[in-house]
Structure 1
Amino acid sequence: MIERGDAIPSVGIKLITASGIEDTTSDAILGQGTVVLFSVPGAFTPTCHVNHLPSFISNAAKLEAAGVSRIVCVATNDHHVMKAWAEASNALDTLDFIADGNADLARALGLDKDFSKSSMGVRYVRAAMIIKDGIVGDVFVEDAPGITATGAPAILMALEAAA
């Protein structure tokens, strides 16, 4: 699993923003400024849709005030699903989304988990990280169902503690 001090790997991804969908690389998107990246098992899944994503939308201004230049949500869903989720959540003007449909970035980060028993294939574990100029500062991974270590309030506390 990726750790503090590691560089973000360069993996092909699809970036979904308010401007549209772009083919790019993970290091191009996560390599400049202070970035909060959070991973979810799936778009529109109950905990991701009702709790995890909304915590970042509602705390975006606080994260920006704490020095975050970009907030990015990543899942192994395809770019059509990620765009639909971003639009349904009214998040496109606030966050960026990475569609990692083949889980290439998930594997490169070591944040992949096989959910095949639930008929969901390879997905991300629920995680969040603070990245500064392409170098991982902090990594948080949930060790149980729910959101405690990876929601926006926990990330804000980590940013405040580091200031």
Structure 2
Amino acid sequence: MIQPGEAVPSVPVKLVTGEGISDATSDAVLGGGRVVMFAVPGAFTPTCHVNHLPGFLANAAKLRAAGVDRIVCAAANDAFVMKAWGEASEALGDIVFLADGNAAFAEALGVARDMSGNGMGKRYQRSAMIVENGVVQALFIEDAPGVNASGAPAVLMALEAAKA
């Protein structure tokens, strides 16, 4: 699993923004400035759609005030599903979506989980990270169901603590 102090690996991904879908690499999406990335098992899945994404959307202004340049949501879904989720949640103006359909970036980070038992294949472990100029500064991994360690409040607390 990636650790604080390590550079984000470079893996081809799809970037979904309000302007559309484009080819990118994970290091380009997470490099350049302070980025908060949260990763979810799947777009539109209950906890992700009701608890995880909305927390980051509701706290987008606070995250920016804390010095965050970009908020990224990653999932092992295709770019079309991620675009539909961004539109349905009205998040595309505040959050960009990283579509990692084959979970290659999840694997490279060491946060991939086999969710085949639930019919979902390989997915992200629910998590978040603070990245500064392409280097992981903090990592938040959920060790139980729900959104606690990787939610927007936990990330905001870590950003505030780093200021002190």
Whether TM exceeds 0.5 here: the answer is yes
Matched-pair identity in %: 64
- 1:48: Cα distance to partner? 0.2
- 1:53: Cα distance to partner? 0.0
- Per the alignment, residue 88 of structure 1 pairs with 88
Residue type of the partner of 2:65? A
- Per the alignment, residue 22 of structure 1 pairs with 22
TM-score normalised by the chain length of structure 1? 0.99
Residue type of the partner of 2:92? L
Alignment of 1:71-86 (within 5 A): 71-86=71-86
CA–CA distance in structure 1, aligned partners of residues 47 and 118 of structure 2: 16
CA–CA distance in structure 2, aligned partners of residues 154 and 121 of structure 1: 28
- 1:91: Cα distance to partner? 0.3
The CA deviation string for residues 44-79 of structure 1, in whole angstroms up to 9 with x for no partner, is: 000000000000000000000000000000000000
CA–CA distance in structure 2, aligned partners of residues 73 and 9 of structure 1: 16
Residue type of the partner of 2:46? P
Aligned residue pairs: how many? 163
- Per the alignment, residue 60 of structure 2 pairs with 60
CA–CA distance in structure 1, aligned partners of residues 83 and 58 of structure 2: 19
Matched, 1:159 2:159: yes
- Per the alignment, residue 102 of structure 2 pairs with 102
SS at match of 1:7: coil
CA–CA distance in structure 2, aligned partners of residues 154 and 139 of structure 1: 11
SS at match of 2:6: coil
Give 4+ residue runs of structure 1 displaced > 4 Å after superposition.
none
TM-score normalised by the chain length of structure 2? 0.99
